[in-house]
């Protein structure tokens, strides 16, 4: 079984709809992240959470919100989807293990299309 899972894997929706993307991890990591990837722009950080009570905005948080329901779960919501939110979304996890930053492990991605 995958250590970091994302649901759904693909989603097509319409402008104005509310969408939730979910991420679960079995790695026991404390840190979780949401990124979006667009062609030519690389991965950009939307939100990140260092533990259940610590949530921070990333580079491009406008139009998004998150919820860290438990250490293992981190969901991303688009309250009112718009076409320029069409992208590939990745969840990632990492832990500190005595270092300031460790390798990030990514989920398989969610391909979201907003019509």
Best CA proximity match to 78, nearest among 47, 106, 50: 47
Residue 104 makes contact with another protein by CB under 8 A: yes
- Smallest distance, another protein to C-beta of residue 88, A: 8
Residue 113 makes contact with another protein by CB under 8 A: no
Enumerate residues 6+ apart whose C-beta is below 8 A from 93: 3, 4, 25, 27, 29, 31, 32, 33, 104, 105
* 17 vs 86 by CB, closer to another protein: 86
Q: Which residues of this chain interact with another protein, rule CB under 8 A?
A: 33, 35, 40-45, 48, 50, 56, 58, 88, 90, 100-101, 103-104, 106-109
């Amino acid at each position: 079984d995958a250590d970091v899972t994302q649901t759904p894997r693909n989603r097509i929706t319409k402008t104005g709809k509310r969408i939730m993307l979910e991420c679960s991890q079995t790695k026991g990591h404390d840190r979780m992240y949401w990124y979006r990837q667009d062609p030519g722009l690389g991965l950009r950080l939307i939100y990140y959470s260092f533990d259940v009570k610590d949530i921070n905005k990333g580079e491009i948080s406008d139009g998004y919100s998150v919820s860290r329901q438990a250490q293992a779960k981190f969901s991303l919501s688009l309250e009112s989807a718009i076409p320029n939110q069409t992208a590939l979304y990745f969840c990632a996890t990492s832990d500190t293990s005595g270092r300031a930053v460790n390798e990030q492990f990514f989920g398989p991605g969610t391909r979201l299309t907003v019509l």
